[in-house]
Chains A and B, each alone.
Chain A
Amino acid sequence: MNNAHTPHMTVRDVAPYMVLIKRSIILWVIICLLYRAYAHLLPVQLHAAPLTKVLYYPEFHLYKFLSLDAVLVQNYWGALIYTALLFIIPILLFWKPQHLLLSVLFIINNLLYHTVQGVHMTHAVHFLAGSTLLSFIFLARQALSFNLLWEGLRYVVCTIYVTAFIWKFIHGAIFQWEFGEAVFKCNLATYLYLNPSGMMRSIYAYFLSHPYLLNAGTLIAFLMEGVFVVGYFTKRWDTYLIIALLLLHHLLYIFVDTLFVEWYILILPFISLKIWKKISPKVSIGTSSFEL
């Protein structure tokens, strides 16, 4: 046995749960695709959206330069086939999670859909960034590489939040006391205008009357991003990091009207070995029984 698996080392031996972890990722991706179908955001549901925005993003430029929009969104049959592939590839990969070609296609699928979504939504949204990053775990098919990559992805997730915290210092949002109130008014203006009554409206009215709560809450949210720095040094706080991640995105939804539901998948690298061990015998998706 390789010594990366021994208990005194910092790398967890998650390889016995490789299939379960991979299928958990695919399952969440499929659930998110179904939610996007409900929200009319799948390529075939975009009605050949004519308006596009590429700004300065290289992958958006490449997408337009290669005229992929004409094939994947603006042509009905192209959009239909592409939408079908968005589902077919993860479903096949769920069936055979160790298949290399399907794994590569799954990664390309995630990267491409991230681009399609940003270009046609005319906003560089990062909804699919979480699943795109975690999809790279499918490249690891041996026990050692899986353990090491899964551990690395845990550090990547910590880096996402820690750099978000650092950028707030560099660009200065953390030094603007009224930042929370300013973002709240900007992002919730339409909601406040269209919904003059109701429970949430009463809650929002209270916060607008007491803007210091919004501003203090924003600082706490920033600190919740910064707290991910502990993830570099210990795994003892991982349960709290899971709570922080979920809480942060729920607060973002309530007070900034931005729902990163797809990012909930980022809790997976923080799940302890003990929990995987506990879940594994209870669910059939963790076994290789699906495979031929």
Chain B
Amino acid sequence: MRPTYFKILKQQHPFMYRMCCCIFVIYLFLNIIRIEIPPFFLSMMYSVPIENNDTQVVYDFIYNQERQWNAPSYHQHHQRCMYYYTILFYDQCISQSPPQAADGVKLKERFSQHLQLGPYLDKVYASSEDIAAYPAWLADYMSSVIHEKIDSYVVVKKEVIIFPDNVQLIGSDTLIHFKRYRDE
């Protein structure tokens, strides 16, 4: 019978064996408490059931009056990421009342008064100024991605129903209406 990897490790390199045992215990513990601390990456992506919904939301980016941004190619995947993820998070933030970092709302409600963690939470979570600065930043960032100066743009949040052969628009709402002033 072949010796196992751990047996070889123990015989050949006791230090590395002890390190491996520690790493294994830490990894197991982090999996149990479900907290990821790199380089202990947890592979939980796409493991939670989601609702099978025909109605979906898309964020349409229309710049310089009438041009619709679309980057559908294989090699453009990473170009799409920054816009798709940040616009979704921005929408979640401004949906709060008052607008605030959507990822910190629950934690702030729970701990800010009781444990005097307010200053820490204010420091690590995005501020209302950060959220307010997003539309102007998006204009600059998308200008770089599209390689065209963007003077104005709108982001329209559209509710659509997906059919096999077409997508039907059932509602829309302007999320951002940005216009750059001449001296900006």
Residue of B nearest to A221 (CB): B46
User: From residue B74, how far is it (CB to closest CB) to chain A in Å?
Assistant: 7
- Whether B2 and A10, one on each chain, are in contact in the complex, defined by CB atoms closer than 8 angstroms, is yes
Q: Whose C-beta in chain A lies nearest to the C-beta of B167?
A: A193
Q: Flag if A121 contacts B164 (CB, 8 Å).
A: no
Report the minimum CB–CB distance from B184 to chain A (whole Å).
14
Any A CB within 8 A of the CB of B12: yes
Q: Chain A nearest CB: distance from B10 CB in Å?
A: 11
* Residues of A in contact with B (beta carbons under 8 Å apart): 2-4, 8-11, 35-36, 38-41, 45-61, 64-65, 67, 111, 114-115, 121-126, 129, 132-133, 136, 144-145, 148-149, 151-152, 155, 159-161, 163-164, 167-168, 170-173, 175-176, 178-179, 181-183, 185-186, 189-196, 200, 205-206, 208-209, 253, 256-257, 259, 261
Within 8 Å CB of B58, what residues of A? 189-190, 193-194
Interfacial chain A residues near B89, Cβ < 8 Å: 51, 53, 122-123
Per the bound structure, the CA–CA distance linking A209 and B144 in Å amounts to 38
Is A193 within 8 A of B158, CB to CB? yes
> Is B103 a contact partner of A54 (Cβ separation < 8 A)?
yes
Q: Judging by beta carbons under 8 Å apart, are B47 and A10 in contact?
A: no
Interface range, B side: 35 or more
Which positions in B face A, CB cutoff 8 Å? 2-5, 8-9, 12-13, 16, 20, 27, 31, 35-39, 41-54, 56-60, 68, 70, 72, 74-79, 81-82, 84-86, 88-90, 93, 101, 103-104, 107, 120, 123-126, 129-131, 133-134, 137, 140-141, 144-145, 158, 160, 162-167
Check A4–B12 contact: CB distance below 8 A. Answer: yes
On whether A64 and B38 interact (CB within 8 A), knowing A173-B46, A185-B54, A185-B162, the answer reads no
| A136 and B131 contact, CB distance less than 8 A | no
Give the 7 A-B CB pairs with smallest separation, nearest first: A39-B78, A164-B43, A189-B56, A208-B164, A182-B52, A122-B89, A259-B77
Residue of A nearest to B7 (CB): A10
Q: Tell me whether A56 and B35 are in contact in the complex, defined as CB-CB below 8 angstroms, given that A50-B130, A122-B86, A259-B78 are known contacts.
A: yes
Pick the residue among A9, A47, A56, A173 that contacts B49 (CB under 8 A): A173
